[in-house]
Amino acid sequence: MTNWTADQPIVRLRDVHKSFGQVEVIRGISMDVMRGEVICIIGPSGSGKSTLIRCINALNDIQAGSIQVEGQEVHGPKLDKLALRRKVGMVFQQYNLFPHKTALQNVMMAPIKVLKEKPAEVEARARALLKKVRLEGKENQYPGELSGGQQQRVAIARSLAMQPDVMLFDEVTAALDPETVKEVLVTIKDLAAEGMTCILVTHEMGFAREVADHIYFTDRGIIVEHGPPAEFFTQARDPRTRAFLDQVL
């Protein structure tokens, strides 16, 4: 499927299976994500949510099925990892900033080293991105000097600096204090409003309900139920979904 066009799903999963040794954590998941959509994946711990989005940018491999990003097969022998990762940005639960670089240098590193862009141009873009995530004035601070919420916003800016088409968020607020959760969620909401395609794994139900176009509920490696938030939160049919929602809402 090399002749991909923008009206086709930007991310397309078909019957994906993934095991760690004997343990099968993903047991046949299919999903279509259209350009500009915001997708939230929710579900109990250990249901394979994080593994699933890690498979989308090839941090994990899969045993069976197919994952395509803009028509490019992610788990084939012909995968061009650099091309994939230019399209797909990722933000992690633990921020994973480079601790020996300032906020600005963190954002600038990949465009300069990977895309070989001119440092002056990258710097202008990086400063604009840090401003966009509301971190003006923190450019020269090291990650160790920033709060969790600030670090996570640097991580978002760092990922955006590669100008990706899709952003993956892996429980990005799970390690944060309740007060700083909001500042990160606002940043993600801004992004979604600008039309960025986002796939989030989250435990923030209120947030999911507010920003998601579509919600997927996973349990034990399969998608139990999915739908637009208005329907999903009020008319869940499956007893597992209802049990989960009863616990978290």
Partner 1 sequence: MLAEIQDFFRELAATSPHWNFIWIYDPVQMNRVLTGLWMTVKLSLFCLVFSVIIGIVGAWAQESRSRFLRGIVQVYVQFFRNTPPLIQLLFFYFALGQFTPSYSPDGWLEVPIISNVGWAIIALSFFAGAFNIEIFRAGVEAVPTSTREAAESLGMTRLQTYTNVVLPLTLRISLPALSANLVNLVKTTNQAFAIAVPELLYQSVSIWNDFPSAQKPTMLLMMICYLGLVGLLSAGMGQWERKLRIPGYGT
Q: Which residues bind partner 1 (CB under 8 A)?
A: 57, 59, 81-82, 85-86, 88-90, 92, 94, 96-100, 109-110, 113-115, 141-146, 155, 158-159, 162
Report whether 167 contacts 212 (CB < 8 A). no
Of 39 and 91, which CB lies nearer to partner 1 in the complex structure? 91
Strand 23-33 and strand 38-42: pairing? unpaired
Coil, strand or helix: which one is 16?
A: strand
Cβ of residue 151: shortest distance to partner 1, in angstroms? 10
Question: To which residue do tokens 């090839």 refer?
Answer: 58
Order of strands across the sheet that contains 197-201? 88-91, 166-170, 197-201, 38-42, 214-219, 222-227
DSSP E strands in 48-130: the ranges are 64-69, 72-73, 88-91
Cβ of residue 199: shortest distance to partner 1, in angstroms? 14
∠ Cα 207 25 20 (to 5°): 130
Of 4 and 142, which CB lies nearer to partner 1 in the complex structure? 142
Of 27 and 86, which CB lies nearer to partner 1 in the complex structure? 86
Cβ of residue 59: shortest distance to partner 1, in angstroms? 6
Cβ of residue 104: shortest distance to partner 1, in angstroms? 14
Question: To which residue do tokens 């906020």 refer?
Answer: 103
Quickly count: other Cβ atoms within 10 Å of residue 171's Cβ.
20
Coil, strand or helix: which one is 219?
A: strand
Of 25 and 224, which CB lies nearer to partner 1 in the complex structure? 25
Of 199 and 223, which CB lies nearer to partner 1 in the complex structure? 199
Separation CA 155–CA 133 (nearest Å): 10
Cβ of residue 235: shortest distance to partner 1, in angstroms? 36
Cβ of residue 137: shortest distance to partner 1, in angstroms? 16
Of 57 and 173, which CB lies nearer to partner 1 in the complex structure? 57
